[in-house]
Amino acid sequence: MNKFKQLFAIALSTASLAFAGGAMAQSAPAAPAQAAAEAPDVLVKRISLEVLNAAKADKEIQAGNQRRVLDLVEAKILPHVDFQRMTALAAGRFWRQATPEQQTQLANEFRTLLVFTYSGALTQVKDQQLEFKPMRGTVADNEVEVRSQVVQARGEPIQLGYRLEKLPSGWKIYDINVLGAWLVETYKGNFAAEIGKSGVDGLIKVLAEKNKKLAANAGGKVAKSS
Amino acid sequence: MKTHLRSGALATLLAVAALSGCATATNPKDPFEGFNRAMFSFNDAVDKVAVKPAATVYSNVVPGFVQTGIGNFFGNLGDVWTMVNNLLQGKVVDGLSDMMRVAVNSTLGLGGVLDIGSEAGMAKHKEDFGQTLGRWGVKGGPYVVLPIFGSFTLRDTVAFPLDFKADPWGYKKPVRWRNVGTVVRLVDQRAAVLGASNLLEEAALDKYEFVRDAYLQRRTSQIYDGESGPKGKSSLNQGNQDDDWAYTRQEAEAAETSAAASAATAAAAAATEPRDQSGVEPAIRTKPADAAAKKDAQQQVPGSKLQQPVVLPVSSVSTDQTLMAEAKPSSDL
């Protein structure tokens, strides 16, 4: 029953794991030069494997230590994600109607929500293996799609895809595909509905309240930022 | 049990058809939203009260290898129908691989309990008749939520009874074992995703819409085996069609321009005589892009749209970086 719903949820968690990882080397000041030189598929592969291994190896993460998970996400994933663009795409035509302040707030809240979601998922990694398929696009392009799948001990493989854009600071992920569904496209409906009800400020408020609740659920181990 | 469910599905179809008249269609993909939402809450309630608790007990009590065996066993039964559908779709290589898979797992794998086929490199590809219809060109149609079974498109709702009928377990005798098996299968499938099911709750603003929009995308992707459309249509290009990002960058520049313009106006109003550019310099960030924008601004009505902006790579980059820097919260979570 509702199998897809649950599958999607588990895949979401795996996805976070799969790409959560590898920014450790990247967080150094020398990162941009290194990242720029790295091909997008190589980058995603490295991040994915590093995250997967980090999550598997860390007993505290397995035990559900929220603080550690958030740290891992902050350090490893975030430097490689363009949240501004992700939010702009999810907001669609409403993004243009928002003031710069609203845009910044919206991107911040969306970012926090995604970080919480992914962090919650990181504790789920156990025996998964990663496989990579040929990349769509070439390094010469400004936008590419990297495709992979997570092979589990039981059940079907979970497809994971990433859209990346070339920025001066290196390749950045701006959309993720889990089980055939793009994150941005999936949030679009949610965003549009909230904005339709109570405007951009309404959406920001809903996101902020959700984040507050998630922070509280994390057991007070997490201090809400900004 | 089987006929029960089938007539249930048919009744649902009729109900959906009846409801379609009075439903207020807000989303073209989802004209039965009122009905669907009711079913969605119903399914959620059933899960909360019965299925999830049962799955929790199951996963706590039954040893892991037994769970895997049960999952494999029912998976193997499903592979028979997958094989048929792959062949119906003309995917002969996949179909033959499925046939070998079932043969190997049913014999060496002790009736499907061990998934030797996967280890031998014969991957599982789940295919149902709805996918076959989709491959044949039948459009998905509106989104439908069925009681207990969850998300479907109208096409798949029509195809579903056939999937049901094609399931070998539906012919298991005696009937009481069939029923026990059906329940175990359901509970096992639910248990497989127990740990992650809260995630959806966390991620979604409106769970119903979130599941719907993800499901419809996933279905298309399944039909075209990982693509977002028929072969040749790159999903990358598709995603870029409604890419507002380039526009956003221009907007950001336009906003700076109008800000600079109003600053200039304010400065001009404050002083009785027009000041030169340096007078407003501290009010705005010093960037090559700003200087250029400011020049434009002085000849323009404040707040007007930037005239066909020529976004140089350098200026767009600097705007982008500024936005990124502003977007980043000062402290960590």
Give me the DSSP letters along B42-81.
HHHHHIIIIIHHHHHHHHHHS-HHHHHHHHHHHHHHHHHH
With b for 16 or more beta-carbon neighbours within 10 A and e for fewer, the A152-162 pattern comes to bebbbbbbbbb
Inter-chain CB proximity B195 and A10 less than 8 Å: yes
Chain segment B158-191, per-residue pLDDT in tens: 898 898 888 888 888 888 889 999 999 989 888 8
d(CA B35, CA B32): 5
The separation between the first and the last C-alpha atoms of chain A, rounded to the nearest angstrom, is 40
d(CA A59, CA A37): 33
Q: Give the single-character DSSP code of A134.
A: P
Q: Give the single-character DSSP code of A81.
A: B
Q: Are B68 and B116 in contact (CB under 8 A)?
A: no
At B202 the pLDDT is 78
Q: Is the pLDDT of residue B100 over 90?
A: yes
The separation between the first and the last C-alpha atoms of chain B, rounded to the nearest angstrom, is 51
Cα of A46 to nearest chain B Cα, Å: 22
- Nearby residues of B135 by Cβ (< 8 Å), 6 or more positions away: B89, B223
pTM, entire model: 0.68
At B204 the pLDDT is 86
> A35 or B43: which carries more pLDDT confidence?
B43
B 169-228 near A (Cβ less than 8 A): 186, 189-190, 192-193, 195-200, 202-206, 209-215, 217-222, 226
d(CA A148, CA A127): 16
Judging contacts by C-beta atoms under 8 Å, the chain A residues touching residue B148 are 1
What is the percent of chain A where pLDDT is above 70? 76
Judging contacts by C-beta atoms under 8 Å, the chain A residues touching residue B123 are 157
Q: Give the single-character DSSP code of B306.
A: P
At A58 the pLDDT is 83
Q: Say how far residue B124 (Cα) sits from the centre of its chain.
A: 21
Average confidence score pLDDT of chain B: 71
Q: Are B166 and B84 in contact (CB under 8 A)?
A: yes
Arithmetic mean of pLDDT, A5-23:
46
Q: Which residue on chain A is closest to B253 by alpha carbon? A: A100
Q: Are B278 and B298 in contact (CB under 8 A)?
A: no
At A53 the pLDDT is 82
> B243 or B160: which carries more pLDDT confidence?
B160
d(CA B218, CA B296): 47
> A155 or A196: which carries more pLDDT confidence?
A196
B313 prior amide bond cis, ω within 30 = no
Arithmetic mean of pLDDT, B310-328:
36
Largest CA distance in chain B: 99
Q: Which residue on chain A is closest to B186 by alpha carbon? A: A1
d(CA A200, CA A106): 8
Q: Is the pLDDT of residue B250 over 50?
A: no
How many residue contacts between A and B have a Cβ separation below 8 Å? 220
The residue written with tokens 């001066």 in the block is A168
Candidates A124, A175, A207; nearest CB to B239: A175
Arithmetic mean of pLDDT, B126-146:
92
Q: Is the pLDDT of residue B291 over 60?
A: no
> B238 or B219: which carries more pLDDT confidence?
B219
Inter-chain CB proximity A190 and B204 less than 8 Å: yes
Candidates B71, B149, B218; nearest CB to A154: B71
ipTM of the complex: 0.75
Of residues B259, B288, B291, B289, the one with CA closest to residue B277: B291
d(CA B314, CA B318): 6
Candidates B149, B200, B234; nearest CB to A8: B200
Q: Is the pLDDT of residue B315 over 60?
A: no
Share in percent of chain B as helix, strand, coil (round to 5): 70, 0, 30
Cα of B40 to nearest chain A Cα, Å: 9
Q: Are A186 and B217 in contact (CB under 8 A)?
A: yes
Q: Which segments of chain A does DSSP mark as H helices, in order? A: 3-20, 31-37, 40-57, 59-62, 66-72, 83-91, 94-97, 100-122, 183-217
> B306 or B89: which carries more pLDDT confidence?
B89
Arithmetic mean of pLDDT, B241-261:
45
